[in-house]
Chains A and B, each alone.
Chain A
Amino acid sequence: DTAVSQTPKYLVTQMGNDKSIKCEQNLGHDTMYWYKQDSKKFLKIMFSYNNKELIINETVPNRFSPKSPDKAHLNLHINSLELGDSAVYFCASSQEVGELFFGEGSRLTVL
């Protein structure tokens, strides 16, 4: 069983479209995150949720909207996609300080 699973692994879409990425963790962790890894491999936090409550919301355009229906799921919806949104988006979960378990990533390409 994959501990943190994301779907889809690849998305290719046109500018202006809307897309969603889903994430599920079966580790029983309280905290989940979305990180964005750009083309230079720089990894930056976008959001974190603790027990379904939004804890961290970095300076992210409001076209990005996370949703946590329950503790095990954290989805990311992106409206009106732009070229600069092309990146790999990682979901992660944690229970212990700093010990993040990452999914395999979802590579988004905006054309």
Chain B
Amino acid sequence: AQSVTQPDIHITVSEGASLELRCNYSYGATPYLFWYVQSPGQGLQLLLKYFSGDTLVQGIKGFEAEFKRSQSSFNLRKPSVHWSDAAEYFCAVGPDTSYGKLTFGQGTILTVHP
């Protein structure tokens, strides 16, 4: 069965500091990996996705993520955090069909201090 673990429930960073959110997955085949962001009172928005190829993927809002098969990880990074990045971030793993289910992690809440 597929599963996703986000070890950090809550992370606080200062504005301008770098950010790394951790994600570990368990999946029987080649995983399709995703990061979504949820602002308060909103639905989730896709930040980036990894299917194959270059293990460093770029997303929207200046985010990037690196797939490391040996560590079963897909960590999200941003070099310099902005106050508007405060939100909850969800890592997800899914199959290679357009209608297959995504399994989400528990989410990591990001707080940004001025």
Give residues in B with beta carbon < 8 Å to A.
32, 34, 36, 41-46, 49, 51, 88, 90, 92, 94, 96-104, 106-107
Contact = CB atoms under 8 A, between A and B. Distances in A.
Contacts of A30: 98-99
A45 B45 contact: no
Contact of A102 (B45, B94, B101, B103): B45
B34 A98 contact: yes
A97 B106 contact: no
Contacts of B44: 43, 90, 92, 100, 102
Top 6 A-B residue pairs of the complex, sorted by shortest distance between their CB atoms: A102-B43, A50-B99, A43-B104, A31-B99, A45-B101, A102-B44
B104 A42 contact: yes
Given A45-B101, A48-B101, A94-B99, A99 B106 contact: no
Interface of A: 4, 30-31, 33, 40-45, 48, 50, 55-56, 58, 90, 92, 94-105
Contact of A48 (B36, B51, B92, B99): B99
7 contacts: A42-B106, A44-B104, A48-B99, A56-B101, A90-B44, A95-B98, A102-B43
B111 to A, nearest CB: 15
A24 to B, nearest CB: 14
Contacts of B102: 45, 98, 100
Contacts of B42: 104-105
